[in-house]
Amino acid sequence: MGNPLLGQEPLPQFMQIRPEHVELAVRELLTANRARIGELASQARPTFANVVEPLEELHHRISRTWSPVSHLNAVLNSDALRAGYNACLPLLSAYQTDLAQSEPLFRAYRTIAEQEGAALAPVQRSVIEHAVRDFRLAGVGLPAERKQRFKTAMLELTQLQAKFEENVLDVTNSWTRHVSDAHELAGLNDMLIEQARRRAQERGLSGWLLSLDQPTYVAVVTDAESATLRRAFYEAWTTRASDQGPAAGRWDNTPVMEEILRRRHEVARLLDFGNYAQYALATRMAHSVGEVLTFLHELAGAARAAAQAEFAELESFAGRKLAAWDVGFYAERLQCERFSVSQEELRPYFPLPRVLGGLFEVAERLFGVAIRERTGAPVWHPDARLFDLTAASGEAVGSFYLDAYARPHKRNGAWMDECVGRKHLPSGAALPVAYLVCNFLPPAAGRPALLTHDDVLTLFHEFGHGLHHLLTRVDYPSIAGINGVAWDAVELPSQFLENYAWHPQVLQHISGHVDSGAPLPADKQARLIATRSFHAGLSMMRQLEFALFDFRLHTEYAPERGARVLEVLREVRSEVAVVPVPEWNRFPNSFGHIFAGGYAAGYYSYKWAEVLAADAFGAFEESGVFDRPTARRFLDAILSRGGSRDALEAFIEFRGRRPDVRALLKQHGMDAAHGRAA
């Protein structure tokens, strides 16, 4: 039997993939690709057909092979798989850098642009433009010594970022809280308590064993009546992979962060950018450091007074000064008192099967697709499921996997990633396939998983990313789906779709009591919708704290003084933080978005894209939230275009004007004296 990672099946054969397959497959594929690239780079007369299209096929092959490995490392982590994954990171980094620094290919692309440009289709010209830009951003024009140093730094960055993520996963998996007194569990939901009882039983312990997975952490700090339990979880969570907390020093990411920031700065300077933020903005919708900082400070100015008033009211409600681990608990109680609705109270109304059915109906009504589950498909875990999308004509559109529940050895958080990218090339075609991953509380015996409304929003968010990947009409893998999309616009479809999870018509369809099947009563719906602007100021200031910290960290880094991670964080908090946090809080040490993910100097993208999403949804509010002509324009201008169109031009095509920040402020109940374009 051959290596399953090199097979030609439409879907990865997950259960056949073994750790020992990983490095063998990657080495074989990279060797073949390098040989083919050598042939392409030596074309006497380079054309789009004889250079660009074959390279797009090679891009697709690499992605198809590596995608299941990267995915399994995130959702079914093991020591052996991790070793294979890590062994391949330097190989892939070197390959990508060599490809992007190839002077013969760079010259070929420029020749094609000059000689064929006028005859190429717009999407083909976009492929060329993106490639030429990326050649330059990879240092193709650097002298040999600087080019080699750039390559080495990128390789080291890849390894450091993987190490950062591993440390967070390991420390998260290592921590548990053994509870022997049932009173300490007061306020927690029955499903979580039962899972904790079973976990303790499996370990031969009496009582209950709580883990540090994300849904358990959120449930404890929001619902546990025991301040002692809340504090224990808060400390364990916010000190992960640091020099503080219960695992102090064991998986400390402090030196890893220092090295990541040093190499990012070096990469930027090698290309004559002043700092890494400037380098990152070369591929973004925002064009300058000043533009981003002005945007963030303007939002902070609009939200600060509201956030301060919200926190003062919360402390008044609690009747005392609040510690950081008390805020979620008392906020939930204040919300319950004010709106007579709580996240836990809503769980029975949001069984996952009902939510999925309603979510799929939204996509079907907006974009004319049908979504059906496919049984018998290869999956990596019994929890994983596969769904197919078809057009109204019956034509296949694509597929997506859903892995919904938290479990050991699975990365925390929620994400969408590419399993298979769309392509339509002379060498063959492929339909897009996505991974949708969440970390909800698993179902109890005989009952489906029950979601909070926050969980529902998460599912809608990731499905929005999925639609961006699946509904693309771009035939070239490098700019199909989310590929090639400006990073500060990539959250637009996901945040746009979240709006539907707040709409009365949709709530009627995604809710159904687990026992009676009855939808969420109208009065509860109204109260739930009213909570949308509850503590909107505090929420916005918290996100702005993260965004400013990230952006300043990458803007202000200087080799002679180092990363100054905690110093920058303290300065940002003194400017925008409303809720006080303990000195031992080390949230940067597990801030995977910027240290292990794609959001370095880009966390502001969430707020930037939230402006785009609120303004885009405004068009639907004006014409009807299920208005098909509006949905068709959104599909044509945004979802289907991938990276083939400038993000701002695409938004203007859909909305008829530049985006306006007032749409977001209005959505959160904050009046602004004036607006500005994002």
- The CB-based long-range contact list for 104-107 (8 Å cut-off, 24+ gap) reads 104/41, 104/42, 105/37, 105/40, 105/41, 105/51, 105/55, 105/135, 106/132, 106/135, 106/140
- Among 462, 491, 498, 545, the one annotated catalytic: 462
pLDDT digits (tens, 9 = 90+) for 600-612: 999 999 999 999 9
Indicate the pLDDT class of residue 678, thresholds 50, 70 and 90: very low
462 tagged catalytic = yes
Cα 508 to Cα 531: distance, rounded to the nearest angstrom: 17
pLDDT of residue 670: 83
Superfamily of chain region 4-100+102-137: Endopeptidase. Chain P; domain 1 (1.20.1050.40)
Q: Write out the two tokens for 287.
A: 């064009």
| Mean pLDDT of all residues in 558-572 | 97
| Mean pLDDT of all residues in 264-271 | 98
Q: Write out the two tokens for 676.
A: 């500005």
Indicate the pLDDT class of residue 175, thresholds 50, 70 and 90: very high
| Mean pLDDT of all residues in 341-367 | 96
Indicate the pLDDT class of residue 114, thresholds 50, 70 and 90: very high
| Mean pLDDT of all residues in 490-518 | 97
pLDDT digits (tens, 9 = 90+) for 25-70: 999 999 999 999 999 999 999 999 999 999 999 999 999 999 999 9
- Of the candidates 205, 211, 207, 202, the one whose C-alpha atom is nearest the C-alpha of residue 177 is 211
> Taking the domains of the chain in order of start, what are their residue ranges?
4-100+102-137, 175-238, 259-280+296-335+537-590, 347-482+499-533
Q: Write out the two tokens for 485.
A: 């999309």
pLDDT digits (tens, 9 = 90+) for 521-544: 999 999 999 999 999 999 999 999
Contact predicate 141/133, CB 8 Å: no
Nearby residues of 241 by Cβ (< 8 Å), 6 or more positions away: 164, 167, 168, 171, 247, 251, 252, 253, 586, 589, 590
Contact predicate 629/623, CB 8 Å: yes
Compute the C-alpha angle 581/587/590, nearest 5°.
Answer: 165
Instruction: Dump strand ranges (E) for 431-561.
Output: 433-440
pLDDT of residue 20: 97
pLDDT of residue 671: 63
The top-level CATH class assigned to 347-482+499-533 is mainly alpha
Please give the single-letter amino acid code of residue 337: E
Q: Which residues pair with 415 in a beta bridge?
A: 437
Compute the C-alpha angle 501/506/511, nearest 5°.
Answer: 85
Q: Does the fold of domain 347-482+499-533 match that of domain 4-100+102-137? A: no
Q: Which residues pair with 175 in a beta bridge?
A: none
Per-chain mean pLDDT for the chain: 96
pLDDT of residue 36: 97
- Using a cut of 0.85, tell me whether the model's pTM lies above it: yes
pLDDT digits (tens, 9 = 90+) for 123-149: 999 999 999 999 999 999 999 999 999
Residue 430 has pLDDT above 60, yes or no: yes
Residue 675 has pLDDT above 60, yes or no: no
pLDDT of residue 669: 84
Q: How far is CA 5 from CA 266, 410, 512, in A?
A: 35, 21, 41
In this structure, the number of other CB atoms found within 10 A of the CB of residue 445 comes to 7
Indicate the pLDDT class of residue 676, thresholds 50, 70 and 90: very low
Residue 218 has pLDDT above 60, yes or no: yes
Percentage above 70 pLDDT, the chain: 99
Residue 666 has pLDDT above 80, yes or no: yes
Question: Which SS3 state, helix, strand or coil, does residue 219 take?
Answer: helix
Indicate the pLDDT class of residue 8, thresholds 50, 70 and 90: confident
Strand 423-425 with 176-179, pairing: unpaired
Q: Both ends of the chain: CA-CA distance in Å? A: 54
Residue 489 has pLDDT above 70, yes or no: yes
pLDDT of residue 1: 64
Indicate the pLDDT class of residue 674, thresholds 50, 70 and 90: very low
Residue 672 has pLDDT above 90, yes or no: no
Compute the C-alpha angle 548/549/550, nearest 5°.
Answer: 90
Residue 209 has pLDDT above 80, yes or no: yes
